[in-house]
Structure 1
């Protein structure tokens, strides 16, 4: 059973800012009634913007290949004592799916299961990224969440939804440790990551993990596209959160920018894919091999951490 990330919904009132931001990144911005969507490929929905004040994660959808698989996952959730809410006709139309259902995970995140995700009526068109993003069977990318207990979230997704552990990162900072669990549902190295602050100075931890969503990631087809995006972002004066660098675990070469809502977007290429027949989860003691230097003023997540470390 291979689930994949179908869509992310962001609660925001900054639609104009997101429209301009999307042009620089390479998304195709389209209105959808009171909402909007940022297309990445042929699919009608990838990033959904819904009205609200939080400027944060609202929900995300994991896609199933068939109605039988969809019903089997819903049954597993209910058997585990999870309250599952059926989707509404209005919600189905907004998500452009045949059917969906939602639940709240142990960390308080709203997550959905969906099937029958629909393509748009028009061909994907982006002047700056005509080839589109790396999606397909890998899903639209990944999300990194702030979690009250990353190990509890890890166990839930493995035991109930059949996720597999990719690896852990234990990163020393601010007198303690940031522990991150990386989980995959398909060959993409991770679809969800859960980060918890262990013994970190509470002021720093509160600032560093202020939002539910630390970042989400979209993958470009090659490093040249990443470097071209970097130049567009500089020209647009969009603030960087982390400079170009390479991660220890998925080998993704990427940088991070501050979105209009304040959390971060990771733009990268070259992430490795997992073969479950041979993969052995590892523990890393650093987030990056090189680069990914925190930028002062780069937003509430990592900017706050850097200010603390440089005191």
Structure 2
């Protein structure tokens, strides 16, 4: 089974801007570029966790999901194929680029690529924050963080991500404005969420969690003072994972949630619930949020029934 979000790949015409953005504002560091010139970002001792490929347009390229070892990965792939999914084996070039021992991939119903891997390369004691930080990023067994995917139909998304890929429901947020489902694959409250927006698909945001509340506060100050990147959602605390966070602009259309203090779930005791609001307090929307895109997305043909 999947154990964590291992890495994320997007593409952008502003990929070079991620070098300064990642270090000066986020506190990450830049790893060696990819073979196509991709800017690769480290947030821990893994070779890299985020890749921004050069491209003419903002694009969601892939999400990488890890299994514990080769045996579990191959059993998982066999399980996916038994359910009728078209699962492809990664090429030698892809293994080298992703810095993993083994890789398979498939697509969700709307063409978004998801990769399944084991053996992600790591370099112990290689990560030192790109700016002064009191702590580090929360990764390890919990993985990179979480992503929120944009999907045109929540029921179809649940059939793919939960029933086929095996993500476990943590809870949902449903109101007249929001319709999201949140899934976990380890102790992090969610490594994946899906947000329903009819007629489009893509990625809304990546969440990065820091160990220290002071490091979140420093990020608030840095983004508030930055002339190029705005805080899209003010400091707030979520109803479901109790994460205290801000949402910030990136050089590309994807947002980043920069947070601290998310709760953990235990499958032996956790009970999924429903919330009608996404936040207990805060997370006020800026004008830049209201005017901007909902992330990196593609428009889809919408059937007559809107589904």
Q: Same fold (TM over 0.5)?
A: yes
1:279 aligns to what SS in structure 2? coil
Note the C-alpha offset of 1:122: 6.9
Note the C-alpha offset of 1:2: 5.0
**Distance across 2 between alignment mates of 1:195 and 1:42:** 31
C-alpha offsets along residues 176-218 of structure 1, whole Å, 9 cap, x if unaligned? xx31010101111111111114xxxxxxx66xx6x61111100
Q: Which deviates further from its counterpart, 244-253 or 229-238?
A: 229-238
C-alpha offsets along residues 96-123 of structure 1, whole Å, 9 cap, x if unaligned? 1011111001243110000000113871
Unaligned runs of 5+ in 2: 296-307
Aligned to 2:142: 138
Aligned to 1:55: 58
Aligned to 2:304: none
Misfit runs of 4+, over 3 Å: none
Aligned to 2:204: 214
TM value normalised by structure 1: 0.88
Asked if 1:248 is matched to 2:239, the reply is yes
Aligned to 2:13: 13
Q: Which of the residues 278, 299, 305 maps onto 1:287?
A: 278
Note the C-alpha offset of 1:91: 1.0
2:175 aligns to what SS in structure 1? strand
1:212 aligns to what SS in structure 2? strand
Note the C-alpha offset of 1:89: 1.3
What's the C-alpha RMSD, in Å, of the aligned pairs?
1.7
1:69 aligns to what SS in structure 2? helix
Instruction: Quickly say closer, same or farther: Cα 1:264–1:63, change in 2 above 3 A.
Output: same
Check the 8 A contact 1:107/1:153 in 2, yes or no: no
Aligned to 1:26: 27
TM value normalised by structure 2: 0.89
Aligned to 2:268: 277
Q: Which deviates further from its counterpart, 31-40 or 276-285?
A: 31-40
Asked if 1:73 is matched to 2:66, the reply is no
Unaligned runs of 5+ in 1: 198-204, 303-311
